[in-house]
Structure 1
Amino acid sequence: MADNGDRERFAYDFETPILELEEEIRRLSERASAEHEDLSGRIEKLERKRDRLLSKTFENLTAYQRVRLARHPLRPHPMDYVRMVFTDFVELHGDRRFGDDHAIAAGLARLDDERVMLIAQCKGRDTREKMAANFGMPQPEGYRKALHKMKLAEKFALPLVCLIDTPGAAPAVGAEERGQAMAIAENIFTMAGLAVPIVIVVTGEGCSGGALGVGVGDRFAMLENAYYSVISPEGCAAILWKDGGKAAEAADAMKLTAQDMLEAGIIDTIIPEPLGGAHRDPQITARRLEEYLSDCLAELRQVPVQELLERRYRRYRGLGVYHEPKPEPQPEPEPAAGAEPGA
């Protein structure tokens, strides 16, 4: 996870005025400490100004600004949450067929006192990690590794927790030759009938089959500034308008934010982030994620397996179904005076 010093060195255009105020607050605080000067009045005034600007900026974000926050270089990745939320994580490597894909980490862990099976998508932080994780785009062996761990969870009656953050599955020729589509489809099929509780959380990006391959469950949540979509806004704009620069327009049309997903019935819950995004206070975000996961597992533990599977089936069969009201039957017009019936 990026440290606090990094936070001062990166900002999107809509974050820059806030960081400039915070830098001024920091300089005044250091000056007050070094010179034993009372600058509390000026500092408090700047802090109030910063808080107002934070509220004004982040309470009125556009869809594309949320997409950018989901990709923020300092935003916590799933493995950061694994370290902050879970204990005793033991990673289990490989798919037993081809290799070990570093874009997906899977293994055993504890949430509070409960043993769980974890699947977390990985993007990497520095260049070496990003290349090893293929920039967060899983290969077929990554999905087969996840599938093997899902079946292991079922064998030992362990709840499954999946943390999603991917721009999509690897689109390379080699991935297709090794059965990318089949690997994703097999995971979806298996998760639909897996006889253990499954909780899914999109922590950043949730794009296309890359997310679907580990995204079938009994409870589904998104962090407030995450997004979930069939394609990136840039990809959509390039296909529809031959212009990737229209990504903001595409993001609005695609209805891909957490709020859009909640209104469409795709997800159950939005996990709120600190004002300014998860990267401004990862610990608070992790605490809220932990509370959500603990509550979900406590609830799902009480549901018999057969009922759990039936609910899951109904949930996914109902996605994308819209009922339009039938038009009201119109009364037949009265026959004209003097007209014969049937004329």
Structure 2
Amino acid sequence: MATKVVLDFEKPLVELEEKLDEMRVCLKKTARDDNTAETEALSREIEALESKVDTLKAGIYKNLTRWQKVQLARHPERPYTLDYIYMIAHDFIELSGDRHYHDDKAIIGGFARIEDKEAGFSESVMVIGHQKGRDTKSNLYRNFGMAQPEGYRKALRLMKLAEKFNKPIITLIDTPGAFPGIEAEERGQAEAIARNLMEMAALKVPVICVIIGEGASGGAIGIGVGDRILMLENAWYSVISPESCSSILWRSWKYKEQAAEALQLTAEDLIDQRIIDRIVPEPVGGAHQNPEQTASTLKSILIEELQQLMSRSGEDLSESRIEKFAAMGAWTEE
């Protein structure tokens, strides 16, 4: 049985929940022993502790620091791209290879169908996203979600295929960054990402990008140019990770928390800065606490956004997409 991952700021809550579980076991025992007085007293104690747990939980997750949100975004139990694909869509057909060099397992993609019978919506879409592993073996297979040039070239090939058949594109971003190895540089990492930026800006079909976990640097923006940029509540999106920022500015990783504050990389920060367009709510405690609820919320939002975008012409989409990104980073000096 896998050990539950508990983050530092969650420990007080977990300790109370463990105590609550112990009291519930005791309650069952006293109920079996037909000890009415003790059962009633224990029930009142459990009720009071449940209220305390709910209050503490709400307080912790409502007031997370930026660094704590980074930790939550990296939680190993958090849903990844394939998890969302299978919860949101069906008939997923994975397409592989960049037709030049290799099939990068850090980026997956293919056609899938998103449906909502009650809303009368059914649409085939191209879904592309970073994929991490759950253990050492699968992380090595997926290269920890760090794509190489062939991954971005595969993504572009699939986007062009979607454009050919006039199908919307959804990208799911979750990466600590593009792979920094020398072999990736030799095969043109920078060129592959730059070409994706140029080509995605001009696509004549709707493009929706969703940051589901980590959104670091060029590794994220390489599949992140879209008409609508959505971001899960506890994800982060930045030009650099807090640790790398700390090592550059302070020559040490010890200042990662200060770096996270300075980078302003949370969903709330980025919607204020107009970098993203919409925040996707998560259950209390993070997406991993209730993946199905998170996926259901994301699906509803995606359908809503797709219905709006699909009514627009290809030329209108590409022109407004270019204007959208050109306007980012504007500032005035007083």
The reply to whether TM is greater than 0.5 is yes
1:25 to 12, 17, 20: 20
Structure 1 window deviating more from structure 2 (304-313 vs 251-260): it is 304-313
**Which SS does the other structure have where 2:312 is aligned?**
coil
1:186 to 191, 195, 199: 195
2:160 to 143, 151, 158: 151
Matching of residues 131-142 of structure 1 within 5 Å: 131-142=140-151
Task: Find the aligned partners of 2:162 and 2:244 in 1 and give their Cα distance.
Answer: 36
1:282 to 291, 303, 313: 291
Task: Find the aligned partners of 1:195 and 1:40 in 2 and give their Cα distance.
Answer: 61
**Which SS does the other structure have where 1:36 is aligned?**
helix
- The alpha-carbon deviation at position 26 of structure 1 amounts to 2.3
Structure 1 window deviating more from structure 2 (17-26 vs 36-45): it is 36-45
2:305 to 273, 285, 296: 296
The residue number in structure 2 matching 1:331 is none
- The alpha-carbon deviation at position 235 of structure 1 amounts to 0.3
- The alpha-carbon deviation at position 231 of structure 1 amounts to 0.8
Please tell me whether the aligned partners of residues 246 and 259 of structure 2 are also in contact (alpha carbons under 8 angstroms). yes
The residue number in structure 1 matching 2:79 is 76
Please tell me whether the aligned partners of residues 92 and 113 of structure 2 are also in contact (alpha carbons under 8 angstroms). yes
Question: Are residues 13 and 194 of structure 1, via their aligned partners in 2, closer, same or farther at CA, if it must alter by over 3 Å?
Answer: same
- The alpha-carbon deviation at position 323 of structure 1 amounts to 3.3
Letter in 2 for 1:67: V
- The alpha-carbon deviation at position 29 of structure 1 amounts to 2.7
Task: Find the aligned partners of 2:331 and 2:17 in 1 and give their Cα distance.
Answer: 48
Question: Are residues 237 and 198 of structure 1, via their aligned partners in 2, closer, same or farther at CA, if it must alter by over 3 Å?
Answer: same
- The alpha-carbon deviation at position 89 of structure 1 amounts to 0.8
Structure 1 window deviating more from structure 2 (303-312 vs 203-212): it is 303-312
TM-score normalised by structure 1 residue count: 0.90
Q: Which runs of 5+ in 1 are unaligned?
A: 326-343
- The alpha-carbon deviation at position 73 of structure 1 amounts to 1.4
- The alpha-carbon deviation at position 279 of structure 1 amounts to 1.4
1:197 to 169, 193, 206: 206
Matched, 1:60 2:63: yes
The residue number in structure 2 matching 1:129 is 138
TM-score normalised by structure 2 residue count: 0.93
Task: Find the aligned partners of 1:34 and 1:88 in 2 and give their Cα distance.
Answer: 48
**Which SS does the other structure have where 1:200 is aligned?**
strand
Matching of residues 173-252 of structure 1 within 5 Å: 173-252=182-261
Letter in 1 for 2:112: A
Task: Find the aligned partners of 1:82 and 1:168 in 2 and give their Cα distance.
Answer: 21
2:45 to 36, 39, 42: 42
Matched, 1:15 2:20: no
- The alpha-carbon deviation at position 35 of structure 1 amounts to 5.2
**Which SS does the other structure have where 2:209 is aligned?**
strand
Task: Find the aligned partners of 2:174 and 2:133 in 1 and give their Cα distance.
Answer: 11
The residue number in structure 2 matching 1:329 is none
The residue number in structure 1 matching 2:266 is 257
Task: Find the aligned partners of 2:153 and 2:29 in 1 and give their Cα distance.
Answer: 58
Task: Find the aligned partners of 1:49 and 1:177 in 2 and give their Cα distance.
Answer: 56
Task: Find the aligned partners of 1:200 and 1:314 in 2 and give their Cα distance.
Answer: 17
Task: Find the aligned partners of 2:29 and 2:114 in 1 and give their Cα distance.
Answer: 44
- The alpha-carbon deviation at position 34 of structure 1 amounts to 5.1
The residue number in structure 2 matching 1:330 is none
1:267 to 248, 270, 276: 276
**Which SS does the other structure have where 1:105 is aligned?**
strand
Task: Find the aligned partners of 2:113 and 2:46 in 1 and give their Cα distance.
Answer: 43
Q: State the percentage of identical aligned residues.
A: 50
Task: Find the aligned partners of 1:178 and 1:34 in 2 and give their Cα distance.
Answer: 65
Give CA-to-partner distance per residue, 1:140-170, whole Å, 9 cap, x none: 1111110110000001111000000000000
- The alpha-carbon deviation at position 32 of structure 1 amounts to 3.2
Give CA-to-partner distance per residue, 1:148-205, whole Å, 9 cap, x none: 1000000111100000000000000000001111110111111000110000000110
Letter in 2 for 1:284: Q
- The alpha-carbon deviation at position 217 of structure 1 amounts to 0.3
- The alpha-carbon deviation at position 274 of structure 1 amounts to 1.0
The residue number in structure 2 matching 1:335 is none
Q: Which has the larger radius of gyration?
A: 1
The residue number in structure 2 matching 1:333 is none
Structure 1 window deviating more from structure 2 (33-42 vs 50-59): it is 33-42
Task: Find the aligned partners of 1:94 and 1:48 in 2 and give their Cα distance.
Answer: 53
Task: Find the aligned partners of 2:142 and 2:131 in 1 and give their Cα distance.
Answer: 6
**Which SS does the other structure have where 1:184 is aligned?**
helix
